[in-house]
Amino acid sequence: MRVYIVILLAGLIVLSCKKSTEKLEDGDYIVFGSFYGFCMGEECREMYLLTNEKLYEDIDDSSTDEYVELPSDLYADVVDLETAIPFDLKELPDSTFGCPDCHDQGGVHLTIKKDGVIQRWTIDNDLDAIPTYLHSLVGLIHEKVELINN
């Protein structure tokens, strides 16, 4: 009997952490990156645009969104981001989690355009201030930003 309960609980945990399996189509995109308010230099705002074929970097550290194409090997390194976005997040479009950069800890940004619908999220870097299901996503976004910059 205990074995069945353990298997049932394990199954529920796996199902509750489901990730998206949707692929980006023509016209779809993901904008992702990190930001820090009290910061100087080029790495204060790192934003990237991922389409179904290419990866672009926002070369302007303001919010004007001037993108330049990055090499295809970098695209291959970050394309898995599109399937790592938790379903639970998509149920809360245009949300802010925690208080990003309120005490100089920065945050991450994520925008998804899928089938003509745009959803945006801003997420605190302070893992204690956000839901557990977002921890791996925040880490993955930072990992991808670091990978692109090295």
Res 87 pLDDT > 70: yes
For 5, residues 6+ apart whose C-beta sits below 8 A from its C-beta are: none
Higher pLDDT, 57 or 13: 57
Q: Which of 120, 124, 122 is nearest to 102 (CA)?
A: 124
Identify the CATH number of the domain defined by range 20-149: 3.30.1560
Pairing of strands 117-124, 95-97: parallel
Residue 84: its pLDDT value, please?
A: 92
Residue 37: its pLDDT value, please?
A: 77
The CB density around residue 30, as the number of other CB atoms within 10 Å, is 21
Residue 62: its pLDDT value, please?
A: 62
| Distance from C-alpha of 68 to C-alpha of 59, rounded to nearest angstrom | 7
Res 36 pLDDT > 70: yes
Q: Which of 54, 70, 82, 52 is nearest to 148 (CA)?
A: 70
| Distance from C-alpha of 8 to C-alpha of 15, rounded to nearest angstrom | 11
Residue 15: its pLDDT value, please?
A: 42
Please provide the average confidence, as pLDDT, over all residues in the chain: 83
> Does pTM top 0.75 for this prediction?
yes
Res 43 pLDDT > 80: no
